[in-house]
Amino acid sequence: MSYHRLTLSHTLLQEQRRLGRSGTFTSLMNDIITACKMVSNEVSRGALAGNLGVAGSENVQGEEQKKLDVLANDIFLHMNALGGKYAAMASEELEDVHTVHGSADGRYLLLFDPLDGSSNIDVNVSVGSIFSILRLPEGAKPGSAETFLQSGVQQVAAGYALYGPSTMMVLTTGSGVNGYTLDRSVGMFFLTHPNMQVPADTQEFSINASRQRFWEPPIKRYIDECLSGKEGPRGKNFNMRWIASMVAEVHRILVRGGVFLYPMDTENAKTGGKLRLMYEANPMSFIIEQAGGLATTGRQRIMEIAPSGLHQRVPVILGSKNEVERLIAYHQE
């Protein structure tokens, strides 16, 4: 019975009252919620809405854009500009910063990957949207990329929407992590996963094993030990998952533990890794850390990286605390 549950808007209002906030943050969060509901609707209609397939364009990453990449990006830009609370936005799909005109009092910056994992769209596998919110630095001129180059610890909030068998939103504002499920009959997200915690131990790892020949020694050692199972140094068997949709991997880890690895390797070292710092690694690291997990490059806490560019790529190892600590130790040896 949904009506016994708190809605996402209610929990935001509770937080606003608890912290004595003005309501600006609540209203900008509601715009993101609306954008995610709209993207969910388009994703779920898929072929019926003619939304599958490629858009015939490339994004700033040189990746072929799917129609839904472009549509999700437009929805995020439009819905989040209306509230006038953002000074500017940055998207995986846009090379430059998108200045929000008419937002004189915009004190926040929004970064997002509007549709992460979109290579899964045409084969009907879960995809998601990832977002991160920063404050516009005092006295900064909105619209310059430099205002976005803040380390992950500066994030005001981070979250994702997962368009899976059910549509969920997971959100942190720095006081833990809550998960909400969309009830399409009333068009509202209801609190279904309060205070999510990543189990400290796991028997499940996520890595793209086709890149094994490029792995650095610490990764090779860790994965080999997992694959050795009960008879090996870990004394237990492991299972592997790779969905190629970071949002789905992170959500599974939040629910039942695990470790996700997209490490630096000899092939991607020239670009610094695969995943993007500002709108993938940082928001996911904030969520994982707030849920008791860890997030590292193997050599550095992700949220302490001083960004050098809006689309900077970094290695990502995140999830169950004890497994990530083991991987950090292997990188230090």
Q: What are the residues binding ligand P6P (CB under 6 A)? A: 116-117, 119, 208, 244-246, 262, 274-275
DSSP assignment string, 122-163: GGT--EEEEEEEEEPPTT--TT-GGGG---GGG-SEEEEEEE
Using an 8 Å Cβ cutoff, are 68 and 51 in contact? yes
- Least Å distance, CB 246 to ligand P6P, is 3
Residue closer to ligand P6P, measured from CB, 112 or 190? 112
Using an 8 Å Cβ cutoff, are 282 and 227 in contact? no
Residue closer to ligand P6P, measured from CB, 33 or 207? 207
- Least Å distance, CB 257 to ligand P6P, is 18
Closest residue to ligand P6P: CB criterion: 246
**Residue 134, token pair as written in the block:** 């920063």
- Least Å distance, CB 224 to ligand P6P, is 20
Residue closer to ligand P6P, measured from CB, 87 or 223? 223
Residue closer to ligand P6P, measured from CB, 28 or 158? 158
- Within 8 A by CB and 6+ apart from 75, the residues are 35, 38, 39, 42, 114
Q: Which helix (H) or strand (E) holds 324?
A: helix 321-332
**Residue 304, token pair as written in the block:** 């302490």
Residue closer to ligand P6P, measured from CB, 209 or 329? 209
- Least Å distance, CB 262 to ligand P6P, is 6
**Residue 208, token pair as written in the block:** 């793209």
- Least Å distance, CB 314 to ligand P6P, is 12
